[in-house]
Amino acid sequence: MKYVDEYRDGAIARDIAARIRTEARSDREYNFMEFCGGHTHAIFRYGIPDLLPDNVKMIHGPGCPVCVLPIPRLDAAIELAVTHEVILCSYGDMLRVPGSRKRSLLKAKSEGADVRMVYSCMDALRIAQDNPGREVVFFAIGFETTTPPTALVIRQAQKLGLKNFSVYCNHVLTPAAISNILESPEVRELGVLPLDGFIGPAHVSTVIGSQPYHFFAEEYQKPVVIAGFEPLDVLQAILMLVRQINEGRAEVENEFARAVTYEGNPQAKSVVADTFELRRAFEWRGLGTVPYSALRIKAEFAEFDAEKRFTVDYKSTRENKACECGAILRGVKSPRDCSLFGDPCTPENPLGSCMVSSEGACAAYYSYGRYQERTFATDQTHPAA
């Protein structure tokens, strides 16, 4: 993408929106899930719901890596920092996510644990080099986009012969999550989550390519359009999905052709395959245990696997009963359905992971949609106002 403004042109956006309104048939509804949290934020930031007809509905998916990490995995990271007294390095969003008993990494840090925010896994590697007498653990999370850098840093640690560096691996896989949603009772049995198609993630697809999504189009007859994060990208993807539905097609189309290819990034995929292997099962917040949905470090790099280097107790933990984050991640509920949303749960005082992350659905609704929706509701209640 050479110029960002080209993908934010208001006149073109109105033209695409007009075509969506013209081509969306009035005798049916169109329900599309944007898997990635980045798309959710783009949709609300640019007011895209206001441009769509009432029968074209967007459903947010579980594509926020901070949000889908279950509490036991977060508690284990806190245990590494507190009990094992390691230097725990983490991306900023993870510091504020509440674990069990509302304890977070940030709170553990305030109580004396050595928790450090890093901008990349290479920062964690440098911290290990600078502190040879301390154990340093990188808290690795994310989908396929952030997995290759973690693989590279493990291999670099091996090359350097670092003995005090390890990775707590929590990398998860997009296709497995999509399969879990399509196989869920909400979609297949109860019908409470109607899905006609997907907006495929942008950054993830630059790594894995468009090829993995063909399974969903063929097996489940659900069209997928991979889209960038700019408003024109999203609107064009919606138009392409509407056209597929109208024409009875279920195909994979690539709107984000300027960055995504069919095969993806062969070098990135190769280094991941050489460093990681599939876990038989992994717990996701909101989705439960999903088979073959996450990665673990291969045996040849076991010395850099924090789960092998340290004994960590994984305890089953119940979510906050009032928090609807699990249902929100599945697309079954909206942030507006949560009794905590906006009061007391806000980005400044997050009670659930969906409000913490910059990609979380609750944060998107709060930042870009909450007040507009409240005003609309007030106007409908008091038409004369």
Identity of the amino acid at 256 = F
> Which token pair is 299?
């045996």
> Which token pair is 169?
């691996």
User: Which H helix or E strand runs over 312?
Assistant: none
Place of tokens 């696997």: 305
- List the chain residues with pLDDT less than 70: 1-3, 316, 318, 369-385
d(CA 304, CA 121): 13
**What is the pTM for the complete model shown?**
0.91
Place of tokens 């986009």: 145
Do 240 and 255 touch, CB atoms closer than 8 A? yes
> Which token pair is 364?
């998107």
Place of tokens 């009032």: 322
User: For 29-85, what is each residue's pLDDT tens digit?
Assistant: 999 999 999 999 999 999 999 999 999 999 999 989 999 999 999 999 999 999 999
User: For 362-372, what is each residue's pLDDT tens digit?
Assistant: 999 998 865 44
Do 136 and 128 touch, CB atoms closer than 8 A? yes
DSSP reduced 3-state for 281: strand
Q: What confidence score (pLDDT) does residue 2 get?
A: 57
User: For 214-253, what is each residue's pLDDT tens digit?
Assistant: 999 999 999 999 999 999 999 999 999 999 999 999 999 9
User: 295 pairs with which residues across the strands?
Assistant: 278
Place of tokens 């947010």: 60
Q: Pick from 342, 371, 138, 107: which is nearest to 352 by CA?
A: 342
d(CA 145, CA 229): 15
CA–centroid distance for 319 within its chain: 19
Q: How is the chain split among helix, strand and coil, in percent rounded to 5?
A: 50, 15, 35
> Which token pair is 186?
């909400």
DSSP reduced 3-state for 356: helix
Q: What confidence score (pLDDT) does residue 369 get?
A: 66
d(CA 330, CA 202): 19
Q: Pick from 192, 196, 247, 187: which is nearest to 222 by CA?
A: 196
Q: Domains, the chain, ranges and CATH?
A: 4-64+189-254 (3.40.50.11750), 67-174+264-309 (3.40.50.11740), 325-378 (no CATH)
Cis amide linkage into residue 383, ω under 30° from 0: no
Q: Kindly report the CA angle at 334 between 332 and 335, in degrees rounded to 5?
A: 135
Contacts of 12 (CB under 8 A, 6+ apart): 232
Contacts of 86 (CB under 8 A, 6+ apart): 80, 114, 134, 135, 136, 137, 310
